[in-house]
Amino acid sequence: MDYARDAWRVQENVVRTAIGIAFAFVGVFIGAGFASGQEALQYFVAFGLDGIWGGLLTVASLTFAGLVMLALGSYFRAGEHSVVFTKITHPAVARFLDVAIMVTLFATGMVMIAGAGSNLEQQFGWLTWAGSVLMVILVCLTGLHDVDRVTVVIGAATPVIVICIVAACVYSIINAPGTLAELEPQTELVATTLPNWWVASINYVGLGLMVGVSVAIVMGGANHWLKASAIGGATGGLIAGLLMLLAIVAIFFAIGDVWDAELPILELVNRISPVFGYVMAIIVFAMIYNTAIAMFYAFAKRATANKPKQFWPVLVASSLVSFAVSFVGFSELVGYVYPAIGYVGMALLVILGVAWVKGRTKVREEIERRGRIRSLIRRKLDPAKRFTKRHEAQLSDEISASPVDDRHLQNDAHEFVHRELVADDSVDYPVAESVDEPVAVVER
């Protein structure tokens, strides 16, 4: 009976943790570029009905990518992406990817500066450069303050964006002037720099990887429960892919009205209600700001790692350079900068795929190992259960066999089980017990 109850509790905790990870993952990938609709337009709708197949391929690819990134992050308990890169590929390739991510941070921030101008111009009639200037000022001022607090608050806008996209999709389908096949000829009006639908689909996933891999790996690394990380990553990738598919369908059905819009989703929402459009414009601007400050902040931090006093000057300089480039235009930058990043991301997707094929057995073994470690520590800490020397020896062997540092893993697992027992009303557990109590291990 106790075993069955414990097994049920474990599954319940896995599901709860996985759901939290999934929505956090969606928040990473549903950024300003997605919210604008320009990515859906150029990467998918431009290829007509084949773009729908591209959307389905993206759903599958993002599901796989989410699974691998979060699982590897948790497997190595990575505090940054370079920890995983150096483990799964050659040091030279790992270094190249690290530099490529640096370039991606700057390039994505640059596109956001242009997007801010287009957003306010399309909805409020501002001069394009004025919106870009406002974004540069906001980024520079925010760099002087608590970035995390601001981004967390604005990150709460993600659910609203999801609601807007679903509403726009439903509206487009209900008010469609024809079938997808009848509307397909109009998709030829959309300019794209990508060669075909399947390359565009994988390139889009590669772009998402380059922008989000750092956060995704760290997100997985922060979670001791490897199984929950893997399930959460796969679920998050699935949700993000399905949302993109919805955006593709919504824009496709309204292609005659939005094919030349800088922000197609915003144009679509305005068709539903002008008031709704103003709200959407403000939310998109906030998400652009959120993405821009995250990109420039991370870029400046990494560029000045050895000279922290140069952080703000580098932040300002990179923002000003981006403002100068923004005159090229938002849709043009999306059409050229994003695919260039995406091609590097396609290589990263292959590297992650190969690493998963080679290491998935070890990941499964580690999932089972951490489950056993959890059970043993729970037995050790539960006053109602007997913990013998044989259990102690088994626990030491299990911890020593893990790829994670012994001390790190033992403290991690101990704190994890401590919180679990505190929350379990069926266990007479001393809440005041320290989470720092060491678990005996055999040093390797």
Tokens of 304: 């000045």
Tokens of 287: 């998400």
Tens of pLDDT along the chain (444 residues) come to 455 556 566 677 778 888 888 888 887 777 667 778 899 999 999 999 999 999 999 999 999 999 999 999 999 998 888 889 999 999 999 999 999 999 999 999 999 999 999 999 998 999 999 999 999 999 998 888 755 555 555 556 667 777 877 887 788 888 889 999 999 999 999 999 999 999 999 999 999 999 889 888 988 888 888 999 999 999 999 999 999 999 999 999 999 989 988 889 888 888 888 888 888 888 888 888 888 888 888 888 888 878 888 988 999 999 999 999 999 988 899 999 999 999 999 999 999 999 999 999 999 999 999 989 988 988 888 888 888 999 999 999 999 998 988 888 888 888 888 877 777 776 777 765 544 444 444 333
Judge if 310 and 421 occupy the same domain. no
The end-to-end CA distance of the chain, in Å, is: 37
Judge if 71 and 175 occupy the same domain. yes
In whole angstroms, what is the distance from residue 369 CA to residue 359 CA?
15
CB 367 within 8 A of CB 226: yes
Q: Which of 34, 50, 17 is nearest to 111 (CA)?
A: 34
Judge if 334 and 407 occupy the same domain. no
Tokens of 246: 């919805």
Check residue 152 and give its pLDDT.
Answer: 56
Q: Identify the burial level of 25 via C-beta atoms within 10 angstroms of its C-beta, where 0-12 means exposed, 13-18 middle and 19 or more buried.
A: buried
Assess if residue 275 is contained within a domain.
yes
Check residue 440 and give its pLDDT.
Answer: 44
Q: Which of 17, 100, 44 is nearest to 251 (CA)?
A: 44
Judge if 301 and 444 occupy the same domain. no
**Residue type (1 letter), 30:** I
End-of-domain residue from the set 342, 357, 372: 357
Assess if residue 75 is contained within a domain.
yes
Residue 443: domain span: 382-444
Check residue 153 and give its pLDDT.
Answer: 53
CB 309 within 8 A of CB 126: no
Assess if residue 22 is contained within a domain.
yes
Assess if residue 374 is contained within a domain.
no
Assess if residue 409 is contained within a domain.
yes
DSSP symbols for 249-265: HHHHHTHHHHTT-SSHH
Assess if residue 364 is contained within a domain.
no
| Torsion angle (degrees, nearest 10) of CA 83, 77, 205, 110 | -60
Cβ neighbours for 218, distance < 8 A, ≥ 6 positions apart: 73, 78, 79, 80, 81
In whole angstroms, what is the distance from residue 70 CA to residue 125 CA?
42
- Looking at residue 154, which CATH number applies to its domain? 1.20.1740.10
Q: Which of 37, 91, 83, 405 is nearest to 257 (CA)?
A: 37
Q: Which of 148, 345, 158 is nearest to 236 (CA)?
A: 158
Judge if 420 and 324 occupy the same domain. no
Task: Tell me the CB-side half-sphere exposure of residue 435, using CA atoms within 13 A.
Answer: 13
| Torsion angle (degrees, nearest 10) of CA 23, 27, 33, 37 | 30
In whole angstroms, what is the distance from residue 355 CA to residue 332 CA?
35
Check residue 1 and give its pLDDT.
Answer: 46
Assess if residue 373 is contained within a domain.
no
In whole angstroms, what is the distance from residue 222 CA to residue 54 CA?
33
In whole angstroms, what is the distance from residue 210 CA to residue 108 CA?
10
Measured from the Cβ of residue 420, the count of other Cβ atoms closer than 10 Å reads 18
Judge if 291 and 416 occupy the same domain. no
Cβ neighbours for 309, distance < 8 A, ≥ 6 positions apart: none
How many domains does the chain contain in total? 2
Judge if 163 and 203 occupy the same domain. yes
Judge if 196 and 54 occupy the same domain. yes
Assess if residue 186 is contained within a domain.
yes
Check residue 375 and give its pLDDT.
Answer: 87
pTM (2 d.p.): 0.86
